[in-house]
Amino acid sequence: MALARPTPVDASHELYVPDMDCADCARKVEAALSRVEGVSEVSVSFATRRLRLRLDESLVSLADVERRLAYLGYPPRGQAGPTAGAASAAQPSTDAGRDEQAPDPWHRTSKGRYVIATGALLALSALLSLAFPPLGRWGFAAATLLGVAPLARKAWTSARLGEPFTISTLVSLAALGAVGIGEAAEGAVVVFLFAVGELLEGVAAGRARAGIRALAALAPKTALLLLDGAGTREVPVEALRPGDLVRVLPGSRVPADGTVVAGTAGVDESPVTGESVPAAKGPGDRVFAGSIATDAALSVRVDAPAGESTVARIAHLVAEAEASKAPVARFIDRFSRVYTPAAMLVAALVAVAPPLLLGAAWETWVYRALALLLIACPCALVLSVPAAVTSGISAGARRGLLVKGGAVLEAIGGVRTVAFDKTGTLTEGRPRVTDVVALAGTEDEVLRLAAAVETGSSHPLAKAIVARAAGLDVPPAQDARSVAGRAVTAEVEGRRCAVASPRHAAELAPLPGAVEERIAALEREGKTVVVLLQDAAPLGLIALRDEPRPDAAAAVSRLARLGVRSVMLTGDNARTGEAVALQLGLEARSELLPEGKLAAVEELRRRGRVAMVGDGINDAPAMARADVAVAMGGATDLALETAGAVVLRGEATGVSDLVELSRATMRNVRQNVAFALGLKAVFLVTTLLGVTGLWPAVLSDTGATVLVTANALRLLRFEPGRRPRGA
């Protein structure tokens, strides 16, 4: 009888790998683990030194993976724990800041110690060659062999794990070859310069980690919990639970996302949204963890635990953004995998072809071949994209522009059309009732019945009607139902009432001509009109107006200057849509139900890439179909989890800022690739001509690494509306 096979155990794991702090390290780890049976969905981030993977534990255990990592030279230090099945990895880990501690000084890192050791060996060999010239050659040979030993060990390990064409292999062959042909001094210089280049890559990643640590440190560590009496007690923010009341003193930071219940103060939200002007906050207003009460005390009701605050989510998403590689990054990865073995083949041909075919000197052409091996090092090339993308995403986060990955960052710069939802995106999202027209009964009766139907709805128009009815005797409603984009119905005082769009009301029963004329007149004024119905009979009209955002026209104008077309998609009536569109200077498509917006996005995509900008809830189908989904303001849980980008400060100009940031980042990527390949091309020619040798060859990569790193860090100074110098 056949034995039953064990049930596979599918689990996700996250490991912290402190020595995986460069682009090539991450690529090496990803490639080695992807070949292991039972390991899937390998995702690495050298910026945060985190490794995620999924294991079929009937085939391979986590301990096996950890041993393989240690054997490869990247021992993990701790893990966040398994998540069975496909659990939501998008949730920020409660210990996400654990490995974002203050970094060690460079001389205490493994790469720093390697630079010091190889530098000391090189210096001692140089002194020995000056004091005892006959022994100098042996001193440089010893320095080279001792310095290259760790690299050779890594190269051998990588080869055994299926990665023979690594940077360690190239440098080891070049250094050992230099000793073999009597150029030990240059071999020692090569090892030292390579160590310096690797250290510089670690510095670049450290700058990215510093930005993530700064985000994580925005929220305070303690909070003043309001007791049942009048007193307060200082507690750790981790102890706060939804519903707790906290006191925020003037000049103090808000400890958790919440809602103001008492007090009015200016709140500086620039650490979270990038908005430099403090916003006035009073009862009912939301506040972010990390924002600062500037001039008065506030009492705030906690809405989310500290680990789930907006700033914690931002820090987590920025930290993990590198895992979503831009298409250009995937291309560079594929190219470098072909480029390195091809360059090794060319170097081998250079070493043997001229001596065998032309009778040239073996020593000369072997030397030049060794130099070509160093030129083949793809460090700078591999670093060119992630360094720029990480800097671009960090620069956006500092300005309230949350971009979830390199793929989104690359895509948004190439959009041809931006489709805006109207309410809450191009308009303030705070409509107010301007007119109440009673067709039967009194205006107060129309208001109280409409408010009864709309009570409990989160739609901005519903909130405005309920607010206008404050002070009236609003009856309770039963059996409330919503027909998306058409009406809300409920049983009120024994009557079936509905608050409907004029179009839906006319579908139920023809409206009298005078009523249609009054609706048209209100709509020509840019107002949105709803009809209160009892069964199919109109009882009254309510007109509301939502004013455009002050910056909406500027956003449309800036997008036009960038060559991007703006289109407004709204479920509102055509007259109101046209009135708003005329004021802002864009095209309007009105009276669209959710499926209509979806069809409009599909039609726009036939002309090029489309970004859909909405609130992340009502426009979900259209946002899902667009090439890029951008959520505006509020930073709701759904927006943070589903949209590709979020404009936290809620300004329409944030969309044009995103386009500019994307284009600046992609310019930076192109410059970095040009630096990396350009220097190699120059040194390739000079090496084959015999002008340069081994140590200048290694500078072709180390020098390019310096340029790529410095150029990528320029993005941290990105300012919307100003083209970076040299870009």
Type of residue at 594: P
Query: Which pLDDT score is estimated for 384?
Result: 83
Whole-angstrom distance, CA of residue 235 vs CA of residue 288: 18
Whole-angstrom distance, CA of residue 327 vs CA of residue 333: 10
pLDDT at 96 over 60: no
Query: Which pLDDT score is estimated for 86?
Result: 35
Catalytic residue among 19, 257, 268, 421: 421
**pLDDT tens sequence across 451-486:** 999 988 877 789 899 999 988 999 999 988 887 768
The burial of 241, by beta-carbon neighbours within 10 Å (0-12 exposed, 13-18 middle, 19 or more buried), is given as exposed
Query: Which pLDDT score is estimated for 213?
Result: 66
Give the mean pLDDT of 108-120.
Answer: 86
Give me the DSSP letters along 526-545: T-EEEEEEETTEEEEEEEEE
pLDDT at 587 over 90: yes
Whole-angstrom distance, CA of residue 370 vs CA of residue 350: 9
Whole-angstrom distance, CA of residue 24 vs CA of residue 198: 10
Whole-angstrom distance, CA of residue 716 vs CA of residue 399: 10
Query: Which pLDDT score is estimated for 324?
Result: 61
Nearest 5°: CA angle at 605, between 556 and 635? 55
Of the candidates 589, 595, 586, 554, the residue with the CA atom closest to the CA atom of residue 574: 589
**pLDDT tens sequence across 235-294:** 999 899 999 999 999 988 999 989 999 999 989 887 777 666 788 899 988 888 888 898
Query: Which pLDDT score is estimated for 212?
Result: 63
Query: Which pLDDT score is estimated for 275?
Result: 67
pLDDT at 636 over 60: no
pLDDT at 434 over 50: yes
Q: Select 432-545's CATH number: 1.10.760.10, 1.10.1740.10, 3.30.70.270, 3.40.1110.10.
A: 3.40.1110.10
pLDDT at 198 over 80: no
Of residues 159 and 103, more confidence is placed in 159
Cα 452 to chain centroid distance, Å, stands at 42
Whole-angstrom distance, CA of residue 73 vs CA of residue 154: 7
**pLDDT tens sequence across 481-515:** 887 768 899 999 988 999 999 988 998 888 999 99
Q: Are 507 and 483 in contact (CB under 8 A)?
A: no
Give the mean pLDDT of 669-689.
Answer: 89
Annotation says 99 is catalytic = no
Q: Select 222-306's CATH number: 2.70.150.10, 3.40.50.10150, 3.60.21.10, 3.40.50.1820.
A: 2.70.150.10
Cα 643 to chain centroid distance, Å, stands at 11
pLDDT at 92 over 50: no
**pLDDT tens sequence across 160-195:** 877 788 888 888 898 899 999 888 888 888 888 888
Average pLDDT along the chain: 83
Give the single-character DSSP code of 66: H
Whole-number percent of the chain with pLDDT over 70: 87
pLDDT at 99 over 50: no
Cβ neighbours of residue 710 closer than 8 Å, sequence gap 6 or more: none
CA separation (Å) from 693 to 151, 171, 684, 696? 21, 14, 10, 6
**pLDDT tens sequence across 300-339:** 999 988 877 877 777 776 666 655 666 777 777 778 778 8
Query: Which pLDDT score is estimated for 88?
Result: 37
Whole-angstrom distance, CA of residue 552 vs CA of residue 651: 8
**pLDDT tens sequence across 79-91:** 654 443 333 333 4
Q: Are 263 and 282 in contact (CB under 8 A)?
A: yes
Q: Select 399-428+548-662's CATH number: 3.10.150.10, 2.160.10.10, 2.60.40.1080, 3.40.50.1000.
A: 3.40.50.1000
The confidence band for 701, taking pLDDT boundaries of 50, 70 and 90, is confident
Pairing of strands 232-236, 222-226: antiparallel
Pairing of strands 222-226, 245-248: antiparallel
Per-position b or e across 366-395, b if 16+ CB within 10 A of its CB: bbbbbbbbbbbbbbbbbbbbbbbbbbbbbb
Of residues 47 and 376, more confidence is placed in 376
pLDDT at 648 over 60: yes
Pairing of strands 495-500, 528-534: antiparallel
For 10-84, give the CATH class.
alpha beta
- Domain range summary for the chain, segments of one domain joined by +: 10-84, 108-212+319-391+670-717, 222-306, 399-428+548-662, 432-545
Whole-angstrom distance, CA of residue 554 vs CA of residue 575: 22
Tell the residue number behind the tokens 């900008």, with chain if given. Answer: 613
